[in-house]
Structure 1
Amino acid sequence: MATLVVFCVLYSVGAALAGVVKEERAVAVPVVVVKPEPLPSPVLLPGIVKPQAAPYVPAEPGRATGLVGVTYQFDDDVQQVVGLGLPFVFGWPRPPTTADLGVSANTLYRRVTAETVSGAVTLDAKLALRPCASLAACLADRQAFDQEWTSVLEAPVPAVAKDASTWLTVSDRTPYTLTMTHAFTSNGRSWLIGVSVIAVPGEEPAAQRVLNDIWRQTR
């Protein structure tokens, strides 16, 4: 009988200890929350889809129009500026030198220059391009766009409204400078374009032709 009592006591103690061990193990095991991996973004940052460039439109005989000064004429020898990732092609007076100035979160920057044999820049065009959800969205975003691109490119803000979607500033100081902001639609997509064209003395007509042609190609 005594042996049975001792066995019962030892069994009870063992069971209790086993329960404590199980409880400690249950508490000691950390709860791991499995989180799914984030899905890859289907859009490459910064999210500017490469636009398709519209073909170049030559000036029509007797119908060359522009915003300021002179324009390309129908029979002018115009060099087409291509390969900049812009939704349009525009004319340049001589073989152009192009450069990619980089991309911000929602705006791309490009540069086109004309240089002498010694490498001196005589004509310098810098461009900023931003996509918009619609033409109305472009117009609503225009002031913020102007603040950004003119700061990045160190250009005067286009201040004079030429029409409902175009703003222009002309500086006759040396160097001669033209700046334009223009909202337009091409191939069903809407864009804001900012342009700064700087010319050394004697190259003012070339600067006018370049800016006028960008405006005409995006109308």
Structure 2
Amino acid sequence: MADEHEGASAKEQLVEACRRNNVELLTEIIGNCRNDDEISDLLNNTKSVLGNHLYHEAALQGNYEIIDMLLDQPNFECDPINRIEGDTPLHSAIRWINSEPPAQREFGNALVEMMLEAGSSTRVKNKAKLTPYHLVDPRNAGLRELIQKHEYAALNSGDFVDASDVKPAAGTSYSSVGGQGAGGVGDDDDDDNAEFSGSDEEERAEFERRRANKTR
């Protein structure tokens, strides 16, 4: 392998690895990085001469194993934009699926599902104002349904409301919700305004003391 890639830079080797689904070469290059930041910088910023990121190169070939490995790397960017079409890798993967025979659709759809679950957006438009969904061959009903399902999940991901964000209705306090605002614990004013029952001298003294303190 060393002879095969002799003289090529690490970035050139990365592009080649992603085009050819060469997991062994990708593993070797990543292993030579000193830390996670170096790995992230190398994988996210390496581009082909046509302006494709590594993720685009792998997606354009339907290279499942390489994509799976890329997605496992630290801080890997899921939606880089290429130079010519303005595509994300998800656009690229769908272009590849469209070029393949129908027998490949099940595999291709599994690839797209992995990309979606890893964080690829279905809503990014390319330079032609097309989302990945717009590129799907209408005959590939399974892929259209898969993307719609993820779009629906994304649209509804904010429907859950944290209880701390709920404001009480006008005239209602949080303490009354807990049973304290309607005569529960903490209604000191109600105690002070109560009438004396006259049943005990100590109670009378306490009643007079509290009334005197309140009028000061």
The TM-score bracket by the shorter chain reads under 0.3
TM-score by length of 1: 0.23
Higher strand residue share = 1
**Higher relative contact order structure (alpha carbons within 8 Å, sequence separation ≥ 6):** 1
